[in-house]
Amino acid sequence: DPHLYKKDMNNSGLRRNDIMKLYLVRHGETLWNREHILQGQLDSPLTQKGIGGAEKIREALSGIEFTKVYTSHQIRSMVTADIILEGRKDISYTVEPYIAEMSYGHWQGKTMEEICESPESEAQYMNYFRHPEKFVPVEGGERFEDVIKRAELFIDRLRKEHESDDVILAVSHGVFIKALFVMIRKLNISEFWEKPFITNCSISIFDIKDDSIEILSEVETSHLGEHQVTTAETDYIKKKE
């Protein structure tokens, strides 16, 4: 729905009322997304579908004037932000490490099959998806609680550093975005993977109030058309079953 991104906006794209709005998007599809390699805080290039999806976000959000744009320090997020902001001469992005992807330590850069070569590693990988409350990261990796804490810190920063009517864009990653939803809904870690899946180039919209957050749109993908991605990140688990 092309009108989805213009709700509560006047002709200049500025808010009519005094509630901060956050547009949170996941980066475009990457080569490792497509090849089912765990990226974490490593990077791989955007695919043509990922580039096209970012261009579709740019079109969908073209009528909105953002007062601030954040991206993680990861290349796939920054490249996606560059595409979205193309043609906007009055704004650039700020790198915000809080909204980076979950770190997986030495699992990063490996396929699911490579991660699951040892019984111990396979057990933790299965926990990651099926029993996240039992997941214990490898050295250098993060717990789900760590990512949820980063989501809290990011929202705290927005409330402290922005005006109540600011309109903010943030380009982030699947697990971070999921962690924000878990935080808002006060879910248990065991409920972390409840649907929907955070697809590439999806847009979620929030009202950030002083004492609460309202979810206006969750993982919207209607703008993507042929650039829609269905990344089967749980293929290995499906095969195990």
Q: What is the dihedral of CA 90, 95, 98, 99, to 10 degrees?
A: 70
Q: Over 70: is that where the pLDDT of 239 sits?
A: no
Q: Can you tell me the distance from the alpha carbon of 4 to that of 15, in angstroms, rounded to the nearest whole number?
A: 14
To the question of pTM greater than 0.85 for the whole model, the response is: yes
Give percent of the chain with pLDDT exceeding 70.
Answer: 88
Q: Which of 159, 157, 172 is nearest to 219 (CA)?
A: 172
Model pLDDT for residues 177-212, shown as the tens digit of each residue: 999 999 999 999 999 998 888 999 999 999 999 999
Tokens for 57?
């976000």
Query: How high is the mean pLDDT of the chain?
Result: 89
Residues whose CB is less than 8 angstroms from the CB of residue 195 and which lie 6 or more positions away in sequence, other chains included: none
Residues whose CB is less than 8 angstroms from the CB of residue 142 and which lie 6 or more positions away in sequence, other chains included: 102, 103, 104
Q: Can you tell me the distance from the alpha carbon of 237 to that of 112, in angstroms, rounded to the nearest whole number?
A: 9
Q: What is the mean pLDDT of residues 63-82?
A: 97
What does DSSP assign to residue 241?
-
Q: What is the dihedral of CA 127, 129, 130, 133, to 10 degrees?
A: 60
The pLDDT value given to residue 9:
40
Phi and psi angles of residue 57, each rounded to the nearest 5 degrees, phi first:
-60, -45
The pLDDT value given to residue 184:
97
Q: Which of 187, 175, 169 is nearest to 151 (CA)?
A: 175
